[in-house]
Amino acid sequence: MSSRITSVLLVTAVLLMFVVCSPSSTVMAAPATQVTYPEKTFADGKARHFTHKTEEGVTIRYFIIRSSDGVIRAAFDACDVCWPENKGYSQKIDFMVCKNCGKQFPSARINEVSGGCNPAPLQRKVENGNVIIQVSDILQGKRYFDFRGVKQ
């Protein structure tokens, strides 16, 4: 009888050890506060498009480009005028072109001019060879991409 009790106690102890020592499945990493891209990614002057998905499921689009004057620039893939069409911009040589109205914007004007059909500016900084964008700044562009409740 004592060997049976000892076995039950041993099995219980082993099970408790697994429960206490195993990592908790409810522990979650803190959400990122910034996104970082190596600056060299943009050395060729081609716009790179990225997305950020919000907790509500809204996908925010933005692009980063090294402009013809050598400055790293970032903007949302939308503008104050054409955003309801949800088409964004493509690159044509040194211009970002609105896919809805066809207006062209020199790369050196991205982040310099806002409003109208200009790509909506997105704050960024270049530090230690990296392009850094705060997630809070990306979230400021949610209004351009949140079509929940909007009839299309």
CATH label of the domain that carries residue 71: 2.102.10.10
Strand 59-66: give its sheet, edge to edge.
Answer: 48-53, 59-66, 72-76
Tell me the percentage of the chain whose pLDDT exceeds 70: 78
Residue 10 lies in a domain: no
Q: 1-28: per-residue pLDDT in tens?
A: 555 554 444 444 444 444 444 444 445 5
Residue 29 lies in a domain: no
Asked whether residue 115 carries a pLDDT value surpassing 60, the answer given is yes
Residue 28 lies in a domain: no
Burial-class residue 65 by CB neighbours within 10 Å (0-12, 13-18, 19+).
buried
Residue 25 lies in a domain: no
Q: 72-109: per-residue pLDDT in tens?
A: 999 999 999 999 999 999 999 999 999 999 999 999 99
Residue 139 lies in domain: 34-144
- How many domains does the structure of the chain reveal? 1
Residue 96 lies in a domain: yes
Q: How far is the C-alpha of 150 from the C-alpha of 45, rounded, in Å?
A: 35
